[in-house]
Structure 1
Amino acid sequence: MWHVPRLPLRTAASLRCHPLSIGSRRWQTTPSKASKASSSLLEHRHLIGDESTGLTSYEAAEDAQEQHRARFLTWKGLPETSRTAEDCPRPLLLSFESTPTFTLGRRQEDLNEEQKAHLERPLDVHLLRHPEPISSVFHPLVKKTNRGGLTTYHGPGQLVLWPVLDMHSSLYPRYSVSTFASHLEATTQQFLSDLFDIKTYTNRDEPGVWVHAPSGQPRKIAALGVHHRRYVTALGTAINIDVAVKGTEEVNPWARFVPCGLEGKRATSVVAELGGAAQGRVFDLKDLARQWAAIFEEGLVDALRRGADLGR
């Protein structure tokens, strides 16, 4: 059975870093607890398919997303005289940590058998900073999706966040396609800054969140991929927390392909950017998702907190 607790949200003010000692910082998190329906506008569900690892298959998360999306589309298809505010679905944030999966963009050419087999090769995953340490060999899934872009990866140590909402709802200020993308990026930037003191930037021509690289290759720490149907959103963002970003193809999934076709650039993670400061830390992705949700909800209700519109 899928474990999908509804989690209470926190205000962004409670997410600030607190100094421990000279030369060290830590982020403050509170263990997540399942609760009854929140009074907040945004509903948040963190999906867990395997209690022993905390992982969920990409396909199970996709099913949960499409079920809620169908509720929105059904409600929007009713005559206006039949719609009531009480029956309108609430915006939902689905978060999860996926089993290893390579996803392809909708306009991307299908892979040939050799290319597909290359991505499906066994992948060694070792996450010792996980609440339940993972050390196992996985056989990645390769899946076509309805997002734009090219190949990307989702897997253990990466936090995936999919808001399912109506961009033209009367419950909050309207979104355009570009302002919704900007809100996802701005939320992720604030999340990384507030919790980990990681400074980032965005680029109109290269969606996602990037870490500054005064010398060397630009580093992508969070991917962005969104799909809209009648203004109802699907997919969202994926933040590399403790996923492997270095090493050979046996352990580093990013070494098997060019992420989203971005030659000359590479993937990074929170752990890679923190370096020695990550030693001894445990990264609870369920709790981190709850804190991202709190920041996202601020922009949901206040358009001024959605970040700069890059005009995509």
Structure 2
Amino acid sequence: MKNKKVTVLDWGLIDYKEAWDKQEALFADTIKLKINLREHPDESAITPNYLIFCQHPHVYTLGKSGKPENLLLDDAGLKEKNAVYYPINRGGDITYHGPGQLVCYPILDLDNFFTDIHLYLRTLEEAVILTLADYGLQAGRYEGYTGVWFDSDNARARKISAMGVRCSRWVTMHGLALNVNADLNYFNNIVACGISDKAVTTLQKELGKPIDMNEVQLKLQQHIVTLFGMELIA
């Protein structure tokens, strides 16, 4: 039985490791339920879906396919920047999270929607593209890379949203980060996403003014809900 309902959780500004642990718990519980349902079928039972929104204090995370040397700071440098570093279990290379950056962690059972990771990533990208269009900005994809970009067809190419996910038994975790009012100086301390010759940008930089984070969150949430055909749990 497919469950299109989704619970939205707003964790606010939360330590990265704390959020990671909470994600892992929801992820593990969903997988455990799926395994149990396969062993003991129950047509009335459903697996849950979550959309989690948050921000993090300054942190650098390295995906499974990333190179540690793409972090350009040593321990002393991290301390000076008031930042921490974690190698983690998502796909992708290194990225930065910090205040002013909207993070979305969908913990979904894709059996409730569609079992296609490529389509899953493209759908998340589309939600970001539509959110930026709400602000009059034309963004798109960069062939060969995940995430959302501006001017991907010329030398001014710059990335505004990074993505990295983990999926097991069609249950997802980790997700996307959208730079809204983030401090771009922190990106100077990494080879962001392993790409050394492309810039990073924010919604604030593109529009020339700070943007309300809650407003962006609601817009992104609505586009994700619409594109996946979800039903919000009140």
Q: What's the TM-score, normalizing by structure 1? A: 0.67
Counterpart of 2:23 (choices 60, 65, 68) is: 65
Q: After TM superposition, give the deviation of residue 59 of structure 1 in Å.
A: 1.1
Cα distance in structure 2, aligned partners of 1:79 and 1:206 = 36
Aligned residue for 2:111, secondary structure, equals coil
Paired residue for 1:261, among 194, 199, 205?
Answer: 194
Contact 2:92-2:164 within 8 A present in 1 as well: yes
In the TM superposition, residue 119 of structure 1 has moved relative to its aligned partner by 5.0
Report the structure number with the largest CA radius of gyration: 1
C-alpha distance in structure 1 between counterparts of 2:223 and 2:101, whole Å: 18
The corresponding residue for 2:229 is 301
Q: Is the 8 A contact 1:240 1:270 kept in 2?
A: yes
Contact 2:47 2:109 (C-alpha < 8 Å) held by counterparts:
no
Contact preservation (8 Å) 2:55, 2:103? yes
Cα 1:290–1:82 shift into 2, 3 Å = farther
Separation in 1, partners of 2:51, 2:193: 24
Give % identity. Answer: 25
Query: Structure 2: which amino acid aligns with 1:175?
Result: T
1:190 alignment partner in structure 2: 130
- Supply the RMSD in Å over aligned alpha carbons: 2.4
The answer for the alignment partner of 1:153 in structure 2 is 96
- State the one-letter code of the partner of 1:183: T
Q: By how many angstroms is 1:186 displaced?
A: 0.4
TM-aligned CA distance change 1:267 to 1:112, over 3 Å:
closer
- Please tell me whether the aligned partners of residues 94 and 190 of structure 2 are also in contact (alpha carbons under 8 angstroms): yes
> What is aligned with 1:42?
6
Residue type at the aligned position of 2:95: T
Distance across 2 between alignment mates of 1:87 and 1:78 = 10
Secondary structure (helix, strand or coil) at the match of 1:120 reads helix
CA deviations over 1:243-280 (Å, ceiling 9, x no partner): 122xxxxxx111112101112101000000002xx2xx
DSSP 3-state at the match of 2:52:
strand
CA distance 1:213–1:77, change in 2 (3 Å): closer
The range that moved more, 103-112 or 229-238, is 103-112
* Preserved contact between residue 151 and residue 258 of structure 1 (Cα < 8 Å): yes
Query: How does 1:123-272 map onto structure 2 within 5 Å?
Result: 123=81, 139-169=82-112, 172=113, 174-194=114-134, 196-212=135-151, 216-245=155-184, 252-272=185-205
Q: Secondary structure of 1:297's partner?
A: helix
CA contact under 8 A between 2:70 and 2:192: conserved in structure 1? no
Unpaired runs of 5+ residues, structure 1, are 1-39, 49-54, 124-138, 246-251, 303-312
Greater share of helix residues, 1 or 2?
Answer: 2
Q: TM-score, normalised by structure 2?
A: 0.88
Aligned-residue offset at 1:288: 2.5
Q: 1:28 — aligned with what?
A: none
Determine the structure 1 residue equivalent to 2:61: 103
Is the 8 Å Cα contact of residues 116 and 142 (structure 1) preserved in structure 2? Answer: no
Shift of 1:216: 4.0
Q: Alignment partner of 2:36: what SS?
A: coil
Distance in 1 (alpha carbons) for counterparts of 2:219 and 2:71? 41
Structure 2: gaps spanning 5 or more residues: none
Is the 8 Å Cα contact of residues 91 and 164 (structure 1) preserved in structure 2?
A: yes
Distance 1:204 1:267 in 2: 17
Does the Cα contact within 8 Å between 1:217 and 1:264 map onto a contact in 2?
no
SS at match of 2:147: strand
Within the alignment, does 1:291 sit opposite 2:199 as a pair?
no
| Cross-structure match for 1:30 | none
Instruction: Indicate if the aligned counterparts of 1:119 and 1:142 stay in contact, CA closer than 8 A.
Output: no
